[in-house]
Amino acid sequence: MRTRRFMTAALLAGVALLGTAGTAVADSPSPSPSSSGSGAGPTEAGTSFRTATPVQPGQRATAGASTGDYLYWVVPVDTGQRATMKAKVTLPKAARHGASTWQIDVYDGLRRRQACVYGAQTRAAAADAASVEVSCTLRTVRSWAEQSSNDPLPGSYYVRLTVTGLPQDDLGLPVKAEFEPSVDEAGGAYAVDGKLSKPLVPGVATADPEDGSSASPAPAAGKRSAGALEPEGGWSSGRWSDRWVWTAVGALLAALAGIFGYSVTRGSGRPSRVPPGV
């Protein structure tokens, strides 16, 4: 009876702790796809890394361009997030001379080209196609990595969309581009112990505390600085991981299992047989 009561108490404690862990994970400060900025985004795109147009995950950016232009956007991606960059190009209705090939590339804050683990990064559009879509899903962003590795780190991610192959006579035809980034939370399975002191965000103005001057030029009027772009709620930089909760839950359940095992194996403290006359 005592063993049964102990098992029931341990089970109830484990269920309560698991519920607490789920709540803690849900309250993580890292932004989720549903809480990110949504709705209409910017209506233009940059033409280089320095002029990339900032876009929040969940927003849909649009831009008019000419075939052959390089279009740039920049997206903030935080620790524990897996980003997916999708782009759609609406091709001109005018007669075209042949097929065209479109490609999307993603670079991190150090301008290192990041590999795509999912998605069609390059696609060909037939001469009579109305549109073409490309996408790139990155690896999960880590809070820290070795210097020799190419792991994605928290910070700004630059997205470049361009045509890589088409007949010469089709250069300059008008196109319409749509770009929409999204992020998914990966959780503590990808957490590491180290973290960056600051996210990789190039172009952030650094002020001199003595004279208040800025080391970086101010952005042009009407343009938002890419360095000012950050996830809603700010950068986490690895300050939280649900791995902490699961580690504590596992340790407590192991302790309860040890106590239960001791209570089962120690016996009643009396010999199983009592000799006659004792």
pLDDT by residue (tens digit) across 102-161? 999 999 998 999 999 999 999 999 999 999 999 999 999 988 877 678 888 999 999 999
User: What does the pLDDT average to over 210-214?
Assistant: 39
Range with lowest mean pLDDT among 24-38, 83-97, 101-115, 144-158: 24-38
Query: What tokens appear for 170 in the block?
Result: 């089709």
10 Å CB burial of residue 266 (0-12, 13-18, 19+) is exposed
Is the pLDDT at 191 greater than 60? The verdict is: yes
Higher pLDDT, 128 or 17: 128
DSSP bridge partners of 122:
103
pLDDT at 278 exceeding the cut of 60: no
Measured CA distances, 239 to 78, 115, 143, 213, 236 (Å): 11, 26, 9, 31, 6
pLDDT, greater one: 215 or 105: 105
With left for phi above 0 and alpha for psi between -120 and 50, is residue 245 left, alpha or beta? alpha
Calpha distance 89→143 (Å, rounded)? 33
The top-scoring range by mean pLDDT among 17-26, 227-236, 237-246 is 227-236
**How high is the pLDDT of residue 218?**
39
Higher pLDDT among residues 23 and 235, named by residue: 235
% of the chain exceeding 70 in pLDDT: 65
If one compares 62 and 201, the residue with the highest pLDDT of the two is 62
CA distance 159 to 71: 8
What is the Cα–Cα distance from 106 to 114, expressed in whole angstroms? 6
In the chain, the amino acid numbered 224 is R
Q: Is the pLDDT of residue 208 over 80?
A: no
Q: What is the pTM of this model?
A: 0.69
| Lowest model confidence (mean pLDDT) among 94-103, 132-141, 194-203 | 194-203
Q: How confident is the model at residue 31 (pLDDT cuts 50, 70, 90)?
A: very low
Mean pLDDT, residues 179-192 taken together? 80
Pick from 104-108, 211-215, 226-230, 274-278 the range whose average pLDDT is largest.
Answer: 104-108
Closest CA to 73 of 92, 86, 90, 82: 86
Average pLDDT, the chain: 76
- Counting residues of the chain whose pLDDT is more than 90, the rounded percentage is 43
pLDDT above 60 for 85: yes
CA 221 to chain CA centroid, nearest Å: 30
Is residue 82 over pLDDT 80?
Answer: yes
